[in-house]
Amino acid sequence: MEIAVRREDTVAIKKKKLITQDKVVNVIFHMIAVLMIIAVIYPLWFVIIASFSNPADVANGKVWIWPNVIDARGYQKLFEQSQIWKSYLNTILYTVTGTLVALFVNITAGYAMSRKDLPFRKWINLFYLIPMFVSGGLIPTYLVVKQFGLLDSFLVMVLPFSVSTYNIIVARTFFQNSLPDSLWEAAQIDGCSTLRYFVQFAVPLSKAVIAVVGLWTAVGLWNQWFNALIYLQNENLIPLQLLLRRILISNESLLGAATGTMAQELRQLSDMMKYASIVVSTLPIMALYPFLQKYFNQGVMIGAVKG
């Protein structure tokens, strides 16, 4: 009896130690997680409060959590630009249209390449992989775009660069690992065609990869300015990012020509407009991400674990 009691006491002590150790480990992990969240969120918050602060306070390290004096001159000067709302609308249209086109192209291509009965499947995979490592370069691409008559048009920001080999591979991997062959066999027994199976079964079961590819594409299109610089001449078609770049370069030019008190004022105004430009250009994408986070994490993990 005494030996049994001692064993029970020993087991109880070990359980208490394990519970205590688990609590300590959980506390440490939670502290690390909180520090990582602060490290990610604080720079974003600092940019926001800096855009409403006096640049001198920011430069002197007086702004940490909240602006000492709220100053919205950066936003005021930025929105005084007559073309900014037109450029904002252009960016929204490019992002929405380009994302839809890219999803249609990349998801359908990924599904086709995931099918084992696709003729010449290995050669098609190779055909998509080669441009991923070897690019034609800017001049040949420009000539191709010009020959297709897409220069200085809305479609030049949407069509020529909609195909992404990486996104196709992600979609292909998702379809291969997530859609069982038995589902396709059952659909065939019921007389389902390939197109109908893709529309009614594959797409509804692929919300995760659609969200991932859509978010990646939308972020890339929203931040796109180089293609607009090369292929657009019409001022009514330029996107927001290119306009903001022009404004900042113009401010730097004016700053280089100014002296004395005027130079100091222009420097402060230029700094405020820089912070305001960052907020204006990133806020819509930051607001979109929380709605897609669940699917985004799921899609990334599926590709990482099973790919």
Query: Per residue in 164-203, pLDDT tens?
Result: 888 898 888 888 888 888 888 888 887 888 888 888 888 8
Produce one character per residue of 145-184: b if its CB has 16 or more CB atoms within 10 Å, e if not.
beeeebeebeebbbbebbebbebbbbbbbbbbebbeeeeb
Which pair of tokens denotes residue 86?
């037109």
**Model-level pTM?**
0.78
Structural domain boundaries in the chain: 2-51, 74-306
Query: Percent of the chain at pLDDT above 90?
Result: 10
Q: Name the more confident of 233 and 284.
A: 233
**3-class DSSP assignment, residue 88:** helix
Q: What is the pLDDT of residue 48?
A: 85
Q: Name the more confident of 260 and 113.
A: 113
Place of tokens 């001022």: 235
Helices (H) and strands (E) in the chain, counts: 13, 0
Place of tokens 């359980």: 15
Q: Backbone phi, then psi, for 243, in 5-degree steps?
A: -65, -45
Distances (CA, A) of 25 to 10, 12, 13, 22, 59: 22, 20, 18, 5, 40
Q: Identify whether the C-beta of residue 263 lies closer than 8 Å to the C-beta of residue 271.
A: no
- Of 101, 133, 128, 131, the closest CA to residue 112 belongs to 128
- pLDDT tens digits, 14-33: 566 656 777 777 878 889 98
d(CA 203, CA 196): 10
- Of 264, 140, 262, 281, the closest CA to residue 222 belongs to 281
Q: Name the more confident of 212 and 58.
A: 212
Q: What's the chain's length in residues? A: 307
Q: What is the pLDDT of residue 77?
A: 79
Residue 83: pLDDT band (50, 70, 90) is: confident
- pLDDT tens digits, 238-293: 998 888 888 778 767 766 666 666 667 777 777 777 788 888 888 877 777 777 66
Report, as an integer, the average pLDDT of 70-98: 85
Distances (CA, A) of 250 to 247, 256, 272, 275: 5, 10, 14, 16
Residue 70: pLDDT band (50, 70, 90) is: confident
Mean pLDDT (the chain, rounded)? 80
Most confident of the following: 128-132, 133-137, 150-154: 150-154
Strand (E) or helix (H) holding 31: helix 2-51
d(CA 285, CA 215): 9
Q: What is the pLDDT of residue 303?
A: 47
Residue 78: partners with Cβ closer than 8 Å, 6 or more residues away: 84, 247, 273, 276, 277, 280
Residue 305: pLDDT band (50, 70, 90) is: very low
For the CA atoms of 188, 189, 191, 194, what is the dihedral angle to 10 degrees? 0
Q: What is the pLDDT of residue 39?
A: 87
Top CATH class, 74-306: mainly alpha
Q: What is the pLDDT of residue 18?
A: 59
